[in-house]
Structure 1
Amino acid sequence: MRLLLGLARIVALGGMLALAGCVTAANNSLSQSDIAGMKLTGVAVSFAPDARIQWEDGLRAYADSKAVSLEQAATMADVPEVKAFVQGLLTPRIKAGVEQVLAARLAGTRPVRLDIRVKSLLFPSAIQRVVIGGHRGMIADANLVDARTGALIVAYPELNAALYTGQGIVGAAVQAAIDNNATQTPVDKVSVRYGEIYRNWLLKDGGA
């Protein structure tokens, strides 16, 4: 099992790099002095009205809260109450993951806030990955604004953060083993990856 997990992590890393390489970054016109003077005071997360969310754990949590089956909850996924419930669970996780990456790197004096507007957040189930495939990821607009005035400083529309996820019968089984041994949930991992890509773009580290 250790060998299987080790091989899976190598394959996953290669997949992550391939997926990240497909992203075309927005233009960042900020100077290094502009960036050095910024202090992150918070991350705000919202969802576009037509945001596409696929997250079985969120639907399961809703089903448990209402004492209904997961199948029943799935049929109501587009109902406003269900969408709000699921988004309410996702918001603090996305916020925490991005803040974890950015806070220490933006420690100047000018207060800024990162407004994230989620357009797509997909976590395909094991069954879906066996039958038709699919990777975990998030697409969201990232707008850095002045925390005092709300004025836009720089925008990165539709930043795409994707993580390779095991495909097929064997891949799904290996992915389940990795997930069971991980200290972070899939949502946490995608949120941190989003923060890393944004950080590298903003700071011009070139590591995304």
Structure 2
Amino acid sequence: MGTILGLARFAALGILFALAGCVTAENSLSQNDIAGMKLTGVNVSFTPDARVQWEDGIRAYATTKAIADDQIATATDTPEGKAYVRNLLAPKIKAGVEKAMAGQLNGSRPVRLEIVVKNFAIASAVQRIMIGGGREMTADANLVDARTGAVIIANPDLRAFLMAGQGVLGTAVQAAIDNAATQGVAEQVVDRYGKNYRDWLLRRA
């Protein structure tokens, strides 16, 4: 047990250095532009073909419908099941991005952040043992004028990615890390996405 916990602490340090997302969009706003803005809200939506792989959400839906474990995959792959999972996930994304942006935009021009999710995937323990996988979110981030809805600046396909332990040992180490964490895995992914956007918008290294 001591060995696993030691490995967990080591892996946690590695994960901290692997949290950066891919940021490629150009930020053309000046510091004065940014200083003049006041964030009044964050809206979250999903593209029609958005991929959401989130076991907690799927199981929550299965529980509401009393779906047996051996029928979950089929029963939840429906428009109703997908809508339920998205509706459960959206408030988490909204709250996480709002937290990351809290206190950052304090000007007078009201702006709103529109997050359009294209992919949210948390590889299950079984997947990471068998074929590997990580934890990620990709979404368009559009900052718009709150009065007119006009886009001020867009960051399409902004991505957040968290490494996760692979294989039998790596999955066991990851479970120890997750159990000791103060945030759930979904919240960690959203937190990283929000910070990636904040740092891009404010030109932080």
TM-score where L is the length of structure 2:
0.94
Does the 8 Å CA contact 1:44/1:116 hold for their aligned counterparts?
A: yes
Query: Residue in 1 aligned with 2:56?
Result: 57
Aligned length: 202
Runs (4+) off by over 3 Å: none
Q: Letter of the aligned partner of 2:88 in structure 1?
A: L
- Cα distance in 1 for partners of 2:121, 2:18 equals 17
State the partner residue of 1:12.
15
The corresponding residue for 1:197 is: 196
Provide, for residues 112-142 of structure 1, a one-character-per-residue CA deviation record: whole Å limited to 9, x for no partner: 1100000000001001001110110100000
TM-score (norm 1): 0.93
Using the TM superposition, give the Cα deviation of residue 183 of structure 1 relative to its aligned residue in structure 2, in angstroms: 1.2
Please give the alpha-carbon distance, in whole angstroms, between the structure 2 residues aligned to 1:184 and 1:93: 12
Match of 2:136 in 1: 137
Of all paired residues, the percent bearing the same amino acid is 58
Q: For 1:159 and 1:140, how far apart are their aligned partners in 2?
A: 6
RMSD: 1.2
Change (3 A) 1:205 1:14: closer
Q: Unmatched 5+ residue regions in structure 2?
A: none
1:69 to partner: Cα distance:
1.8
Q: CA deviation at 1:77?
A: 3.4
Q: Equivalent residues in 2 for 1:36-185 (5 A)?
A: 36-185=35-184
Describe the superposition over 1:3-41 as per-residue Cα deviations: whole angstroms up to 9, x where unpaired: 232112122223335xx3xx2420111000000111111
Task: Tell me if the contact between 1:59 and 1:70 (Cα under 8 Å) persists in the aligned partners.
Answer: no
Distance 2:65 2:101 in 1: 37
Distance 1:108 1:70, change over 3 A: farther
Checking the alignment, whether the CA contact within 8 Å between 2:36 and 2:106 is kept in structure 1 is yes
Alpha-carbon distance in 2 for matches of 1:41, 1:197: 19
